[in-house]
Structure 1
Amino acid sequence: MYRLHGEFCANHPWEVIVATLTLGTCLFTIDSKFYLLSHARPEPGDINIDTVVMTLVRFPGIFTVISSFIFSSSAISCFGGDVSDVKDALFCFLLLIDLSKATKLAQFALSGERHQIKANIARGLGVLGPSLTLDTIVETLLISVGTLSGIRRLELLCYFASVSVIVNYIVFMSFYPACLSLVLELYDNFGSKIPWDFNKISEDEKPNPVIQRVKIIMSAGLAIVHLQNRWTDKEENMPLIIEEYNNEMKDSPSSYFHYFRVSADQIVVFILLVALTVKFMFFEEEDFVTDTEPKPVPVKSKKLEKIAAVEENREGRSKEECLDIFKRDNALDILHDDEIESLIGVGSVSSHTLEKYVEDKERAVKIRRIVYGACCENVIGYVPVPLGIAGPLNLDGETIQVPMATTEGCLVASTNRGCRAVAARGVISRLVDDGMTRGPVVRFENIDKSAAALKWINDPHNFDRIKNSFDSTSRFAKLTKVQVKIAGRLLYIRFVATTGDAMGMNMVSKGTEAALNRIQQNFPDMEILSLSGNYCADKKATAVNWIEGRGKYVVCEAVIAAEDVRTILKTSVAAMVDLNISKNLIGSAVAGSIGGFNAHAANIVTAVYIATGQDPAQVVTSANCITLMEPTGSTNEDLYISVTMPSVEVGTVGGGTQLPAQSSCLELLDVQGSNRLQPGRNAGKLARIICATVLAGELSLMAALASGHLVRSHLKHNRSAQFTFNDRPFSVTLHSK
């Protein structure tokens, strides 16, 4: 409970600080008429010299003393006390302020890496909070016994002392950790090095259980004493108290010069406070800063022993030493961030496996983000692209919101309309094939040897030998087939393999290299010209990908009721079917299109690719699509539509999918990362989502073309800009062609 409270204070410092200051101000300025004894107090303008002196000299002092005094004064003012009488409780007040707890919490805050400050503050409150709470209860009950004595000065002393104890506890549990978190965060943001580094702080702060039990028994007994003595109704004595207090006030001098007279006890108080201030500001702080080698503390766990051991030789630790520590402990927690980065840089640790070796998951993300070479080199910033949501899309009985990053107006709105059109009956999708490809080119001395190699590779008995070599390079890459084409003495070998949830280009390339080495054992004179011979084919419009497929081979279908076609799409089934034949089928054939038998599949594929961290260059292959429409139903009044995409190249791990924004979009689709139970399921689902979204986009655009709405919508959303001339608005249409 205390640790969670500490996390809240450390993570919301501004809220805690402002709330505490506001509460303190309200308490200090509460109208005195609400209190029974208020009419006997001095007027608001009568400020006692004791309050002025004590407040001013405390401001340069230690933080805890200042804040405790200020908030104690506010509390005393709130409950109707005279702040000028605080001098009576001064020495008790100074005695009760425990700076050791504040120092200990600061040590906890500075006991690890910079990113762990907030967590360490929470850990410190979790350790110190319970014992401090019990001590506060005991001290308050014990000191407040003096308020039952009947001696006015002693009652004032105990009253103010009790308030100080309670307020000091509240300040320590809220205001102080919030300020500590905020100051250290600002200190770190300015690029300064934090001077304290108590890396070996111990959590073994549990007090003696016998003493704790005694305190609990004492608290119970004191509580009984208070209840017994305070149970009687003292309202009948209140007029006597008021009269006595008024008589005292009448006897006091009314001259303003009275407030500037300095008595002997005030001089003593002033000297004492100045001495304490000097001590706190100079001597104790110097002890902390110069103590560069903190005293060893007993560590009981093996993990703390390891941390203490390696920290003794923190400076100058080589990569080899860090690697030895990692191999010995199979963990990275005891290494510093820069040391972990060095291990990633030399390839000893994979950045995507950091969560496996680091307990703090946020730390793993932080380290991975700053490791150079991720997704881009010579990084100077980011180019923001507007991100929209299309949906909900009813896909295979699941409701999905599809993120689309685009700078084209109307695209998200149009796709969203298509999602509405298929919402009633939904979209059905199927992943019919899966296989990423790599097609190297090799050369032989003559066509006899190249033909012999082709025959050997196509022999089913030899496929297992090639597959074993290919599959040995990865846990997820599994070779499914090999296609071979011959051109003279050149041989083009197309390896096809499943790659789990990764898009798989690097994975397949690695497996291809191992497979070629195996083939070369039987054909030593085979010359490997290139790992890619364009028979893959990657990022190029090719018939082989359109016919054979590459990546995910996906098919989607939907049936839209005639009424929905009329009301949502604003057209008719007959018009949609006729336009699809004329445009998407015949028109594309006349153009000699390869895989382009659609209206604008590339539009949707690109927008989803950018949003989810895919390689946008692969849209040239991934947008291969044929859209088919026909009337259906008992009376052929409904619309049947299908979209077939044989080469959707996607992945949910690696590449741009690890970037924060793109990873969040994948989480929105519930496909982020690798599916451990069924490898490849997440990437397959993403491909099906893309295909279904393309279907929605095809529906909407074809309907707009059939009804003549396309130009009007673009003029409204994307092609017009409004200007003023002589205070009269007019529109200018921007034509791109």
Structure 2
Amino acid sequence: MTQSRWSGTKDLTPAQRREGLVERTGLDAADLQALEPTDGLTVDAADVLIENVIGVLGVPVGLATNFIVDGEGVFVPMATEEPSVVAAASNAARWAHASGGFHTSSTGPIMQAQVQIVDVEDPQAAKSRILERRDELIASANEVDPLLVKLGGGCVDILPRLVDTADGIHVVVHLVVDVRDAMGANAVNSMAERTSELISDIAGGTARLRILTNLADRRLVRARAVFTAESLGGPEVADRMIEGAAFAEADAYRAATHNKGIMNGISAVVLATGNDTRAVEAGCHAYASATGRYTALSHFEKNADGDLEATLEVPMPVGLVGGATRSHPVAQSNVKIIGAESADRLARVITAVGLAQNAAAVRALATEGIQRGHMTLHARTVAVAAGAQADEVSEVAARLVASGTVRSDKAEEILAILRSEQG
């Protein structure tokens, strides 16, 4: 089993961290070579990925440590520009060690496409007609991707709905598809287009929109972790965290920022593995409104032992085949680091990271406040922006933190003093 507990990583160079990762995971050094900018995504390779390419934008990839997910140690690459995110996730993962880390479950890789039918004279009867020919529609959808069916996936159900719009009642047919290890957008969109004519004939209307829904509420992943009161700093801290989480559940203004903290972790891993951050974010925020009001995606409770038990349930449409995950060399390296052999495993790890990120943020808010830790790590970025060179950054950052003022003007002042001291 990978030993994900790794102390002192902040004091290593990037090259030393990669060397340590090779030692701890058994990966070949060549598997991580794409993480070097000179060996990563080239402009020519980028020109194949999207249109009108003019260059490549680099985003830092940090390594979250200490994670145990369903009994397996795992290192998690996170692509983010925001200081404190990687450190916070790693710290929260360490707090969960005493209780076995993160425990997850999922509903499987089920995605849905929608076919909108308008101008239907008898929508209730049309819904019944569609259900009567369910098997025929499933068979038609599965003609699109016989390989997916061979792998055990494919269209598994047809669900018609009546949606009352400003333009009258629309018949909306959901194609429910097991997409296996794909994110699934291409598969379900193709199935929707293939079946739309048959559906419109059955309904007696006209097919309009034919596209997937990013509210992947049949592709849910759940993560749970127990944080002992001792690991959090005592029973009072656990109680304050539960109070903070209750605030997020009750108030949409707080929930928006609470959930943003969750997405700090989730989006960073989704991006690092070449998956669709916009699809995941849209689905998660839509799911937060599933009850009719926007609320927190996570829940914090005190268990019978007096410890904090945290849970998170989110839609997680990520894949390992197709798209940038297979064509982006850095994404390939990051997937290898995680060691995910299925999209389901990747989704579980990502959700665990989201819960860890959330726990770390709520604890910070419940104790010293979010700014202390964040600004300490942000100080390095401010130092660089002020003009500090490589051998000056650490000293300028340390003096910024000691001054209690982490601002660019203060950094410039400190840098000038440092350089005068060095003659």
Q: Using structure 2 for the length normalisation, give the TM-score.
A: 0.71
Percent sequence identity over aligned pairs: 25
| 8 A Cα contact 1:605 1:623, kept in partner | no
Alpha-carbon distance in 2 for matches of 1:690, 1:442: 36
Alpha-carbon distance in 1 for matches of 2:254, 2:115: 28
Aligned to 1:687: 347
Q: Relative contact order: is structure 1 or structure 2 higher (C-alpha 8 Å, sep ≥ 6)?
A: 2
Alpha-carbon distance in 2 for matches of 1:373, 1:520: 39
Q: Does 1:610 align with 2:285?
A: no
Q: State the 1:622 CA deviation.
A: 4.0
Amino acid aligned to 1:650: V
Alpha-carbon distance in 1 for matches of 2:129, 2:108: 26
| 8 A Cα contact 2:114 2:174, kept in partner | yes
- Report the 3-state secondary structure (helix = DSSP H, G, I; strand = E; otherwise coil) of the residue aligned with 1:440: strand
Aligned to 2:244: 579
Alpha-carbon distance in 1 for matches of 2:183, 2:319: 4
Q: Does 1:669 align with 2:329?
A: no
Aligned to 2:362: 702
Q: 1:592 to 1:529 in 2, by over 3 A?
A: farther
Aligned to 1:529: 208
Q: 1:605 to 1:483 in 2, by over 3 A?
A: farther
Alpha-carbon distance in 1 for matches of 2:264, 2:169: 41
Aligned to 1:601: 262
Deviations 1:332-377 (CA, angstroms, capped at 9, x unpaired)? xxxxxxxxxxxxxxxxxxxxxxxxxxxxxxxxxxxxx968963212
Alpha-carbon distance in 2 for matches of 1:431, 1:619: 15
Q: State the 1:489 CA deviation.
A: 4.9
- Report the 3-state secondary structure (helix = DSSP H, G, I; strand = E; otherwise coil) of the residue aligned with 1:559: strand
Q: Does 1:439 align with 2:106?
A: no
Aligned to 2:222: 555
Q: 1:480 to 1:373 in 2, by over 3 A?
A: farther
Q: State the 1:599 CA deviation.
A: 6.0
Aligned to 1:623: 284
Alpha-carbon distance in 1 for matches of 2:47, 2:81: 27
- Report the 3-state secondary structure (helix = DSSP H, G, I; strand = E; otherwise coil) of the residue aligned with 1:492: strand
Counterparts of residues 143-542 of structure 1 (less than 5 Å):
374-425=48-99, 426-444=101-119, 446-448=120-122, 450-457=123-130, 459=131, 461-474=132-145, 475-476=147-148, 477-481=153-157, 482-487=159-164, 488-523=168-203, 525-532=204-211, 536-538=212-214
Q: State the 1:528 CA deviation.
A: 1.7
Q: 1:424 to 1:465 in 2, by over 3 A?
A: same
Q: Does 1:649 align with 2:320?
A: no
- Report the 3-state secondary structure (helix = DSSP H, G, I; strand = E; otherwise coil) of the residue aligned with 1:374: helix
- Report the 3-state secondary structure (helix = DSSP H, G, I; strand = E; otherwise coil) of the residue aligned with 2:298: strand
| 8 A Cα contact 1:580 1:629, kept in partner | yes
Alpha-carbon distance in 2 for matches of 1:572, 1:688: 27
Q: 1:714 to 1:706 in 2, by over 3 A?
A: same
Deviations 1:365-416 (CA, angstroms, capped at 9, x unpaired)? xxxx968963212223211100001122111110000110110001111111
- Report the 3-state secondary structure (helix = DSSP H, G, I; strand = E; otherwise coil) of the residue aligned with 1:447: coil
Q: State the 1:496 CA deviation.
A: 1.9
| 8 A Cα contact 2:258 2:358, kept in partner | no
- Report the 3-state secondary structure (helix = DSSP H, G, I; strand = E; otherwise coil) of the residue aligned with 2:73: strand
Alpha-carbon distance in 2 for matches of 1:714, 1:592: 19
Alpha-carbon distance in 1 for matches of 2:258, 2:160: 26
- Report the 3-state secondary structure (helix = DSSP H, G, I; strand = E; otherwise coil) of the residue aligned with 2:48: coil
Q: State the 1:494 CA deviation.
A: 2.2
- Report the 3-state secondary structure (helix = DSSP H, G, I; strand = E; otherwise coil) of the residue aligned with 1:717: helix
Unaligned 5+ runs, structure 2: 1-42, 289-296, 388-395, 409-423
Q: 1:413 to 1:708 in 2, by over 3 A?
A: same
Q: Does 1:639 align with 2:308?
A: yes
| 8 A Cα contact 2:67 2:73, kept in partner | yes
Over aligned residue pairs, what C-alpha RMSD do you find? 2.9
- Report the 3-state secondary structure (helix = DSSP H, G, I; strand = E; otherwise coil) of the residue aligned with 2:97: coil
Q: State the 1:607 CA deviation.
A: 0.7
Q: Using structure 1 for the length normalisation, give the TM-score.
A: 0.42
Q: State the 1:521 CA deviation.
A: 4.6
Alpha-carbon distance in 1 for matches of 2:195, 2:254: 36
Q: 1:643 to 1:489 in 2, by over 3 A?
A: closer
Q: Whose radius of gyration is greater, 1 or 2?
A: 1
> Which has the higher mean CA deviation after the structures are superposed, 704-713 or 596-605?
596-605
| 8 A Cα contact 2:241 2:362, kept in partner | yes
- Report the 3-state secondary structure (helix = DSSP H, G, I; strand = E; otherwise coil) of the residue aligned with 2:98: coil
| 8 A Cα contact 1:391 1:419, kept in partner | yes
Alpha-carbon distance in 1 for matches of 2:251, 2:200: 47
Amino acid aligned to 1:471: N
Amino acid aligned to 2:220: Y
